[in-house]
Amino acid sequence: MNKKALVIIPTYNESENVVRMIGRVMALEEAIEILFVDDGSPDGTADLIREQAALWPGRIHLIEREGKLGLGTAYVRGFRYALDHGYEYICEMDADFSHSPEDLPRLIEEVRSGRADLAIGSRYANGISIVNWPLSRLILSYSANLYARMVTGMTVKDTTAGFKCIHRKVIEALDLNSIRSNGYAFQIEIHFRAWVAGFRLREVSIIFHERQEGRSKMSKAIMREAVWRVWALKWRQIFRRL
């Protein structure tokens, strides 16, 4: 078994961020590798990743997809890659520095030590730890997480968190073929399925920063998906019990 950690980073037009991101992650420890899943970025993101991969042999990996296929499918593709290549610790992280790469070792250690099967980098585990968000977006995010907790019954405070470390046994236990969420609802679905399956979820407080470069991928369609998807997850759980 490969004891190294693989950090999956979906990208679409992140040329302003990927080189710096690679430099900061590579500076952490040799046991961390990166897999970028790029959705045909027209700004040359994939070209920059390939250049960096030549500088860090065996530590930078790239999957290129044709067209913008979505966050959820990008992570599922990354999960399959991680399982196929024997990684034990599998992480999710955004490319825009809203998640600090220096927090990765803390998340990995929670899983490596056995304290958690899924460690979540949480914005709400210790009050509200968000920098440079407008009040309207903060209210929307906090309300969405409260709504998801009320519907699903999960105790996780940051259900939509996209920064985490997952032990491979969690992903092996999930039916990746049945995952339907493709926006931020994907994160709720992963947390919910792991929670229902009895795995240990642990939130680790982080400071979340608004992106400085590039454009946010948030849209009304993504928000609508999250609203109805939590009910689909809850009803599926109820039907399975019956």
- CATH classification code of 2-241: 3.90.550.10
Q: CA-to-CA distance for 72 and 79, rounded, in angstroms?
A: 11
Q: Tell me the CA distances in angstroms from 85 to 65, 90, 123, 164, 210, one per residue in order.
A: 19, 11, 31, 19, 33
The label of the residue with tokens 């509200």 reads 128
The DSSP string of 152-191 is: H----S-TT---EEEEHHHHHHS-GGG----STHHHHHHH
* pLDDT (0 to 100) of residue 242: 47
Q: CA-to-CA distance for 107 and 93, rounded, in angstroms?
A: 11
Report how many helices (DSSP H) and strands (DSSP E) the chain contains, helices first. Answer: 8, 9
* pLDDT (0 to 100) of residue 221: 59
Q: CA-to-CA distance for 102 and 159, rounded, in angstroms?
A: 22
Query: What kind and span of H or E run contains 202?
Result: strand 201-205
Q: Where are the domains of the chain?
A: 2-241
Question: How does pLDDT run along the chain (242 residues), one tens digit per residue?
Answer: 567 899 999 999 999 999 999 999 999 988 899 999 999 999 999 999 999 999 999 999 999 999 888 899 999 999 999 999 999 999 999 999 999 999 999 999 999 999 999 999 999 999 999 998 889 889 888 888 888 888 888 999 999 999 999 999 999 999 999 887 877 789 999 999 999 999 999 999 999 998 665 555 555 555 566 565 665 665 666 556 64
* pLDDT (0 to 100) of residue 29: 82
Q: CA-to-CA distance for 88 and 6, rounded, in angstroms?
A: 8
* pLDDT (0 to 100) of residue 148: 85
* pLDDT (0 to 100) of residue 30: 82
* Residue 175 burial (C-beta neighbours within 10 Å; 0-12, 13-18, 19+): exposed
Nearest to 161 by CA among 136, 115, 194, 132: 194
Q: CA-to-CA distance for 92 and 78, rounded, in angstroms?
A: 9
* pLDDT (0 to 100) of residue 241: 60
Whole-number CA gyration radius for the chain: 17
First to last CA, the chain: 38
Q: CA-to-CA distance for 2 and 84, rounded, in angstroms?
A: 11
Q: CA-to-CA distance for 58 and 37, rounded, in angstroms?
A: 16
